[in-house]
Amino acid sequence: MTRYWLLASAAVCFLAGCQPETGMSPGVFSAQRGVFLHEVSARGTVFAASAAEVRCEVGGQSPEGTMILEIVPEGTRVEKGDRLVELDSSLLKEERMREQLQCSGLRAERAEAENELEKVRLSLQEYLEGIAPEQKQAIEHTIFAAQGALERAQRELESAKKDPKRGDGPVESLEARQFDVELARRELERAKASLDSFEKFTKKRRLKQFEGELAAAEAKVRAKRQEEEIHAGLLEKIEEQIAGCTITAPSPGVVFYADSQGDSQEDGSAIGEGSLVRLRQVILRLSRLDAWSIRLEVREVEMPLLSKGMPAEIYLDVAPGRMLAGEVAAIHPYPTRATRDSDTNKRYDVVVAISEPPSAIRPGLTAEVSVPIAALDEVIQVPASAVYTANGGDCCLVFRGGRWQPRPVKLGPSNGSMTVIREGLEAGEEVAIHPVQFQAKRP
């Protein structure tokens, strides 16, 4: 990999000495034959490859979020179970008190509804086993008495017919006995009709009333129980939310605050004591310091050149000149969200793992990453900016015969700064580094 770094340095020197000695205008490069370093280069950000996210699990107190009362300082090493963050739970505790009072009232109302239901059940049982049988028995007793009175009246009528001389007078005595018989018969019919009405209507109507009262009492009990269960569930959730205000470490690691999003505090961080966090918002990350990677974006044309396991050279901005070894660990198959709809500038996320990260590394550092693809010997090359498109083909603006002339060329690979010319140029020929601008400035 050191060889690639030396070759890249040589390319820089190569460009620095590109002015021709013929007194021509600046921005001219002499095509030269040499070693071409084909690589994919991009800048990226360091992140912990193995990091546990710690999120706010408390929500609903206010639209703005929940305030952080205490938070462990960034960079602290913690063990599993150590307290990391204390969120404001005052509003939740007030809500818990209101729910506790609500639940107490609902328990009393539910008990009262259950007592009313038991009363209705006892009343129904009393009617079925006591009142209704007594009423029926009373009517049957009336029927029995009326039946006996009718039979007595009929016997007396028969006696009066056989012995007309008995009584006050033959005619009056017979008529009186006939009246008694008719009266006894009607009393018997009335008693039987009363029993029939009791069985068909009175008892059924009273049972329907009990049925309605029982259904209403049962529905009231169910409603009170359901209401009590709802508020008991709310109280349980509030208790969970209060417990969630104390956030502990899910695993050992080093504390790093989440990236700043939106408005920041005076110290430049969106996370700190007094700041507000929303439900499911990442507050901090617990990073293991033994696995670090760099996330970078590459152009779509460079995607086919990369594969997992390819070696990479990494240069942190905080440690210029020091190379770290790494390798391509992951290549996202789809464009980034920001470039997904672009027709010409799609970019893809690539993760490069750092083989031996230094002890001072931390999330958020910026790094330059180069992935060598190949090194070609003895090839003609010019700056990538010297190639432009004209008449549907690739061209270079070449100085020949005392004037500038466009010349078609066939291209080889490009590393972003230099491009290989397979056909169309010879070593020593001079080309404009910025041909389009160069032509625009010509008289």
Instruction: Give me the CATH code for the 2-48+289-441 domain, please.
Output: 2.40.30.170
Q: Which residues contact 35 (CB under 8 A, 6 or more apart)?
A: 7, 10, 375, 376, 377, 378, 379
Report the percent of the chain where pLDDT is more than 90.
61
Domain at 51-87+246-287, CATH from 3.90.550.10, 3.30.300.30, 3.20.20.70, 2.40.50.100: 2.40.50.100
Instruction: Give the tokens for residue 99.
Output: 């729910």
Query: What three-state secondary structure class fits 110?
Result: helix
Instruction: Render pLDDT for 224-273 as a digit per residue (tens, 0 to 9).
Output: 999 999 999 999 999 999 999 999 999 988 898 886 333 334 334 478 99
Overall average pLDDT of the 118-132 stretch? 94
Q: Which residues contact 232 (CB under 8 A, 6 or more apart)?
A: 103
Answer whether 313's CB lies under 8 Å from 4's CB.
Answer: yes
pLDDT for the residue numbered 170? 55
163-172's contacts with Cβ under 8 Å and 24+ in sequence apart are none
Instruction: Give the tokens for residue 204.
Output: 């059924």
pLDDT for the residue numbered 414? 83
pLDDT for the residue numbered 166? 56
Instruction: Give the tokens for residue 186.
Output: 């009607």
In sequence order, which ranges of 262-397 are alpha helices (DSSP H)? none
Answer whether 235's CB lies under 8 Å from 99's CB.
Answer: yes
How far apart CA 355 and CA 321 sit, in angstroms, is 17
pLDDT for the residue numbered 315? 94
Burial classification of residue 279, based on how many CB atoms lie within 10 Å of its CB (0-12 exposed, 13-18 middle, 19 or more buried): middle
pLDDT for the residue numbered 14? 41
- Compute CA distances 323 → 75, 129, 293, whole Å: 25, 98, 15
The answer to whether residue 140 scores a pLDDT higher than 80 is yes
This model's pTM is above 0.85: no
Confidence of residue 219 (pLDDT cuts 50, 70, 90): very high
Domain at 93-243, CATH from 2.40.30, 1.10.287, 3.30.70, 1.10.12: 1.10.287
pLDDT for the residue numbered 440? 56
Locate the domains of the chain by residue range: 2-48+289-441, 51-87+246-287, 93-243
Confidence of residue 417 (pLDDT cuts 50, 70, 90): confident
pLDDT for the residue numbered 301? 82
Query: What three-state secondary structure class fits 54?
Result: strand
